[in-house]
């Protein structure tokens, strides 16, 4: 296990003020709602009403993180936004966000793109910027924000969502991010959105296979690394290595995807079915509680799960975080809860967002999409 003196100092999580129960989408599309509810594992999708977009989501998440942090705006030396909801091919989304926050000066500002993996890459870059010494005492503001919409009636439509997570990267008050991480990539066209195309093109089944391959490869590397690092008399088994993680979070395009990926991981590691099922139920399912209520938030999806898992944890408790982005790339990170995790302050505003949302019906959703398509 590698230890780190760098990590997440503060967190902010934000969701838009509208949502659609998946049963309503089933009624609109003439699909048995059980396909969405139990077939995919999705219950509600977060939707942006007029006036809310990826920038407003990112800015509010950032404001929440900054408000709960002991530092000031002058202590930020890097702002980086991971997103696949770019507003421009040249101007980074971080410029819109920095403008709203009044952040300028000796600050590096840029956007990272790699489908749903972009937020994790942004976080890794900020962690490595800290570890390299280049930060010179400053902290980074990392934001993962997206509005995930598919063409109406696309097979991906039931998995839509929207949300943002902001993380200040510096001292590990909320969580330390371990130095070692476990990436895997392979070029593929499983999900892509050409320049000028409003909605993504998806090879749905291929994207499932790519995700499973990335997850199995990253977890196999992690287990081999931990076994090699172990000082115990007997090399720990794969199940024992996984057991060291109290919670294991995944990118959640839809919860069934995660279940399939865990089965693949178990098979690659040689776990029996009961062990894999036990791992999934006890360590993974509890981390997807909020994802089921907001849908796929692309770059923010994994970090919503991590933010919810960390809340209430004792210092030192370990968490796994598997990121996946189409194209495709994956990476497994490990974190340890810090002293501020137990109070889980960031969840108060996030839960309020969820509980105060306007729940749309099928007709209101159809009207919202029609207005969006008109621009």
Q: In the complex with ligand COA, which residue's Cβ is closer, 211 or 365?
A: 211
298: closest CA among 262, 336, 263, 327? 327
Smallest distance from the beta carbon of 326 to ligand COA, in angstroms? Answer: 6
DSSP letters spanning 9-63 = EEEEEE--SEEEEHHHHHHHHT--HHIIIIII---EEEEPPTT--HHHHHHHHHH
With contacts defined by CB under 6 A, name the span among 28-36, 77-85, 170-178, 301-309 that binds ligand COA. 28-36
Q: What are phi and psi of 210, to 5 degrees?
A: -65, -45
With contacts defined by CB under 6 A, name the span among 136-144, 174-182, 249-257, 361-369 that binds ligand COA. 249-257
Selected from 129, 184, 211, 279, the binder of ligand COA by CB under 6 A is 211
When asked if residue 256 is in the footprint of ligand COA (CB under 6 A), the reply is: yes
Smallest distance from the beta carbon of 272 to ligand COA, in angstroms? Answer: 20
Number of alpha helices (DSSP H) and beta strands (DSSP E) in the chain: 13, 15
What lies within 8 Å, CB to CB, of 147 at 6+ separation is 48, 53, 54, 57, 85, 162
Smallest distance from the beta carbon of 60 to ligand COA, in angstroms? Answer: 25
User: The dihedral of CA 219, 221, 224, 226: what is its sign?
Assistant: negative
Write out the two tokens for 87: 């507003």
**Which residues, numbered 118-177, are part of the site for ligand COA (CB under 6 A)?**
155-156, 159
Q: In the complex with ligand COA, which residue's Cβ is closer, 8 or 218?
A: 218
With contacts defined by CB under 6 A, name the span among 16-24, 78-86, 96-104, 248-256 that binds ligand COA. 248-256
**Which residues, numbered 303-342, are part of the site for ligand COA (CB under 6 A)?**
324, 326
With contacts defined by CB under 6 A, name the span among 9-17, 45-53, 120-128, 254-262 that binds ligand COA. 254-262
- Separation of alpha carbons 217 and 153, rounded Å: 33
- Separation of alpha carbons 212 and 273, rounded Å: 17
Selected from 29, 35, 268, 369, the binder of ligand COA by CB under 6 A is 35
Smallest distance from the beta carbon of 330 to ligand COA, in angstroms? Answer: 10
Q: Do residues 52 and 16 touch, judged by C-beta distance below 8 A?
A: yes
Q: In the complex with ligand COA, which residue's Cβ is closer, 126 or 210?
A: 210
Q: Do residues 328 and 215 touch, judged by C-beta distance below 8 A?
A: no
Residue keyed to tokens 């919409």: 149
Q: What are phi and psi of 207, to 5 degrees?
A: -65, -35
Selected from 2, 3, 5, 34, the binder of ligand COA by CB under 6 A is 34
Side-chain-facing half-sphere of 330: CA atoms under 13 Å: 27
For ligand COA, the nearest residue by Cβ is: 39
Smallest distance from the beta carbon of 352 to ligand COA, in angstroms? Answer: 28
**Which residues, numbered 38-97, are part of the site for ligand COA (CB under 6 A)?**
38-40
Residue 183, H or E segment: strand 182-185
Smallest distance from the beta carbon of 21 to ligand COA, in angstroms? Answer: 16
Q: What share of the chain is helix, strand, coil (3-state, %, to 5)?
A: 45, 20, 35
Q: Total residues at the site for ligand COA (CB under 6 A)?
A: 21
SS3 310: helix
Smallest distance from the beta carbon of 309 to ligand COA, in angstroms? Answer: 20
- Which residues are at the interface with ligand COA (CB under 6 A)? 32, 34-35, 38-40, 155-156, 159, 191, 202, 204, 207-208, 211, 253-254, 256-257, 324, 326
């Amino acid at each position: 296990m590698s230890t780190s003196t760098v990590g997440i100092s503060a967190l902010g999580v934000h969701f838009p003020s509208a949502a659609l129960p998946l049963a309503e989408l089933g009624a609109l599309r003439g699909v048995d709602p059980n396909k969405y509810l139990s077939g995919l594992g999705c219950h509600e999708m977060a939707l942006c009403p007029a006036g809310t977009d990826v920038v407003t989501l990112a800015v509010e998440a950032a404001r929440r993180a900054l408000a709960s942090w002991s530092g000031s705006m002058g202590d930020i030396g890097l702002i980086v936004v991971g997103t696949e909801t770019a507003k421009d091919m040249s101007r980074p989304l971080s410029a819109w966000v920095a403008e709203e926050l009044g952040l300028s000066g000796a600050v590096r500002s840029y956007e990272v793109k790699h489908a749903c993996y972009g937020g994790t890459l942004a976080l890794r870059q900020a962690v490595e910027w800290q570890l390299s010494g280049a930060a010179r005492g400053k902290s980074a503001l990392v934001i993962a924000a997206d509005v995930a919409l598919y063409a109406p009636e696309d097979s991906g439509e039931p998995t839509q969502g929207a949300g943002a997570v902001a993380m200040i990267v510096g001292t590990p008050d909320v969580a330390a991010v371990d130095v070692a991480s476990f990436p895997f990539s392979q070029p593929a066209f499983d999900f892509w959105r050409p320049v000028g195309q409003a909605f993504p093109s998806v090879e749905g089944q291929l994207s499932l296979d790519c995700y499973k391959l990335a997850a199995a490869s990253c977890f196999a590397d992690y287990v081999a690394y931990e076994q090699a690092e172990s000082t115990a008399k007997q090399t720990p088994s794969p199940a024992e290595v996984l057991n060291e993680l109290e919670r294991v979070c995944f990118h959640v395009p839809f919860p069934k995807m995660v279940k399939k990926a865990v089965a693949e991981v178990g098979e690659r590691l040689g776990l029996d079915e009961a062990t894999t099922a036990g791992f999934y139920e006890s360590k993974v399912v509890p981390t997807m509680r909020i994802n089921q209520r907001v849908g796929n938030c692309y770059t923010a999806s994994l970090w919503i799960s991590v933010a919810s898992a960390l809340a209430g944890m004792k210092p030192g408790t370990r968490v796994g975080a598997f990121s996946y982005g189409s194209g495709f790339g994956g990476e497994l990170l490990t974190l340890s809860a810090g002293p501020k995790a137990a109070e889980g302050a960031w969840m108060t505003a996030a839960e309020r967002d969820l509980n105060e949302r306007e729940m749309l019906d099928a007709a209101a959703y159809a009207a919202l999409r029609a207005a969006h398509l008109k621009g």
